[in-house]
């Protein structure tokens, strides 16, 4: 789903210059993405937070808490809250929020 990727520019802009930011394409290194699956799937984006010795400190993704709530609403009753409703509501949320929730959630993990 392409809408989660809309959080990446906000994350890069916020952390650039403060911390090193590297972007890996999901399909470029399966050994990396397979360490950070979301419910067994290769969901993106995933933010991996490393300490100064490059040990994994935490990870985040693929979507902020509100996006997860929308997904759970869709999964709970896809006949009433359809895939189209889910995608539409998620896209509106991302457009209005502009990555603020994602940045805040990641800051809480640091």
Q: Which domain holds residue 54?
A: 2-109
Report cis status (omega within 30 of 0) of the bond before 73: no
Q: Say what the pLDDT of residue 3 is.
A: 47
Counting the structural domains of the chain, the total is 1
Pairing mode, if any, of strands 47-50 and 56-60? antiparallel
Predicted model pTM: 0.80
- Which residues, given as ranges, of the chain have pLDDT below 70? 1-5
């Amino acid at each position: 789903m392409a809408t989660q990727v809309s959080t990446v520019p906000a994350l890069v802009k916020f952390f650039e210059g403060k911390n090193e930011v590297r972007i890996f394409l999901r399909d470029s290194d399966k050994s990396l993405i397979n360490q950070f699956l979301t419910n067994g799937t290769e969901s993106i984006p995933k933010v991996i937070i490393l300490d100064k010795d490059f040990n994994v400190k935490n990870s985040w993704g693929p979507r902020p808490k509100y996006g997860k709530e929308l997904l759970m609403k869709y999964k709970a009753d896809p006949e009433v809250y359809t895939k189209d409703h889910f995608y539409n509501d998620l896209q509106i949320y991302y457009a209005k929020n502009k990555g603020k929730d994602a940045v805040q959630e990641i800051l809480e993990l640091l």
